[in-house]
């Protein structure tokens, strides 16, 4: 199925219903894994805000929330390979059980850099939850503890992910046709 958005054809890869069901499953697993604890959930802006909002509302445990902003893409579709911290976490990380929520694990460069940055703050534990895992493009060792969906090597948009700041509002994950 495809739809036209911003005058471009977007092929639906993962429907809104599939995402909602998978987020429920992830929340149940995370709630079980963190039972009796109150993790600090850190969303990676801008792409993960939709996933994080949906995920924390499904959790059955108390959480604290914060955000970081790391960028290595700018307005393009290829990483610069040089992550930049644009906004750091403000909640105390030392001694906390930290769950980082990100939209996509792609090359691994930004995620590996961010996890290393957070490890230096001495959390009690540090885990990663991603909506999408694109293993074909991995350039550095990186793995998520919780994965929504593995996806092929396509540039995807929707459910918080963008292309030039467009498409974030889509309730599904799709591929912009013509960008192969």
**pLDDT class of 6 with cuts at 50, 70, 90:** low
pLDDT, tens only, 100-141: 999 999 999 999 999 999 999 999 999 999 999 999 988 998
- State the pLDDT at residue 37: 98
pLDDT, tens only, 12-34: 999 999 999 999 999 999 999 99
In angstroms, rounded to a whole number, what is the distance separating the alpha carbons of residues 146 and 149?
A: 10
Total tally of structural domains belonging to the chain = 1
pLDDT, tens only, 63-98: 999 999 998 755 555 555 688 899 999 999 999 999
- State the pLDDT at residue 2: 64
What sections of the chain are H helices per DSSP? 16-33, 49-58, 109-119
In angstroms, rounded to a whole number, what is the distance separating the alpha carbons of residues 51 and 59?
A: 12
What's the pTM? 0.90
* Cβ neighbours of residue 118 closer than 8 Å, sequence gap 6 or more: 42, 89, 93, 98, 100, 126
β-bridge mates for residue 42, sequence order:
66, 100
**pLDDT class of 4 with cuts at 50, 70, 90:** low
**pLDDT class of 46 with cuts at 50, 70, 90:** very high
**Catalytic: which of 97, 103, 106, 133?**
106
CATH code of residue 19: 3.40.50.2020
Considering only residues 83 and 56, tell me which one the structure prediction assigns the higher pLDDT.
56
The count of C-alpha atoms lying within 13 angstroms of the C-alpha of 68, restricted to the half-sphere facing its C-beta, is: 27
- State the pLDDT at residue 180: 47
**DSSP letter, residue 117:** H
In angstroms, rounded to a whole number, what is the distance separating the alpha carbons of residues 24 and 14?
A: 15
Considering only residues 88 and 180, tell me which one the structure prediction assigns the higher pLDDT.
88
Structural domain of 93: 2-176
Q: What is the mean pLDDT of the chain?
A: 92
Query: Is residue 153 among the annotated active site residues?
Result: no
Closest CA to 170 of 156, 155, 180, 160: 160
Strands ordered across the beta sheet of 125-133: 84-87, 64-71, 40-45, 97-105, 125-133, 146-150
């Amino acid at each position: 199925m495809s739809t036209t958005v911003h005058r471009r054809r977007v092929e639906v890869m993962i429907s809104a219903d599939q995402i909602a069901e998978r987020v429920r499953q992830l929340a149940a697993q995370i709630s079980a894994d963190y039972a009796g604890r109150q993790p600090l959930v850190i969303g990676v802006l801008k792409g993960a805000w939709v996933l994080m909002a949906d995920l924390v509302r499904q959790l059955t445990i108390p959480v604290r929330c914060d955000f970081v902003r790391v960028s290595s893409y700018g307005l393009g579709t290829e990483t610069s390979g040089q992550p930049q911290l644009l906004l750091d976490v403000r909640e105390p990380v030392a001694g906390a059980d930290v769950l980082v929520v990100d939209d996509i694990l792609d090359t691994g460069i930004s995620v590996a850099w961010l996890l290393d940055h957070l490890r230096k703050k001495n959390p009690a534990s540090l885990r990663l939850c991603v909506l999408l895992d694109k293993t074909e493009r991995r350039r550095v060792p990186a793995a998520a503890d919780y994965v929504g969906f593995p996806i092929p090597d396509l540039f995807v948009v929707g459910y918080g992910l963008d292309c030039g700041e467009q498409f974030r509002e889509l309730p599904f994950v799709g591929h912009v046709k013509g960008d192969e």
